[in-house]
């Protein structure tokens, strides 16, 4: 089981927003830790959307509001499970930022959407490979039994 931290998603959102503001890029306004409660709502929805995009490979086990616990294919290594969580965190943060920018800077919103989709694509490729490896391993084991 792997956990997706809503707080980690929010921290990524706040860091990105602060850096864009510091670099003089357009931003819908500075987000602060005071915004965590509102960001948590959208971050959870974005994390759920990202996990759902990998539904054949990921099962959401629980969501206590702070951590979304997921099951991944058994053939994933511990490092790949960690990477899966990181990619979901990144994609969810980017999807949240895309929503925030949609009304004020559609071009930036599109960039965030593309970044989320890229993370999801990498995650899906890794999960598909792991699932395929798991099936091959099961076939070999089954072949030895019979």
Supply the pLDDT for residue 65.
85
Supply the pLDDT for residue 28.
67
**Alpha-carbon distances of 25 from 17, 28, 131, 132, 140, rounded to whole Å:** 9, 10, 41, 43, 54
Residue 93 has pLDDT above 70, yes or no: yes
How does 56-75 read in b/e, with b if 16+ C-beta sit within 10 Å? ebbeeeebeeeebebebbeb
Q: Which residue has the tokens 């971050």?
A: 43
How does 24-39 read in b/e, with b if 16+ C-beta sit within 10 Å? eeebbeebeeebbeeb
Q: pTM for the whole thing?
A: 0.85
């Amino acid at each position: 089981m792997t956990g997706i931290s809503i707080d980690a998603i929010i921290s990524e959102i706040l860091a990105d927003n602060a850096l864009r503001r510091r670099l003089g890029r357009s931003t819908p306004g500075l987000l602060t830790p005071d915004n965590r409660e509102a960001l948590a709502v959208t971050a959870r929805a974005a994390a759920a959307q990202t996990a759902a995009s990998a539904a054949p490979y990921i099962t959401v086990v629980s969501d206590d509001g702070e951590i979304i616990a997921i099951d991944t294919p058994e053939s994933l290594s511990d490092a790949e499970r960690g990477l899966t969580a990181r990619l979901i965190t990144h994609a969810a943060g980017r999807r949240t930022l895309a929503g925030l920018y949609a009304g004020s800077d559609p071009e930036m919103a599109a960039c965030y959407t593309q970044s989320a989709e890229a993370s999801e694509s990498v995650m899906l490729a890794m999960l598909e490979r792991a699932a395929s490896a798991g099936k091959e391993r099961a076939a070999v084991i089954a072949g030895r039994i019979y």
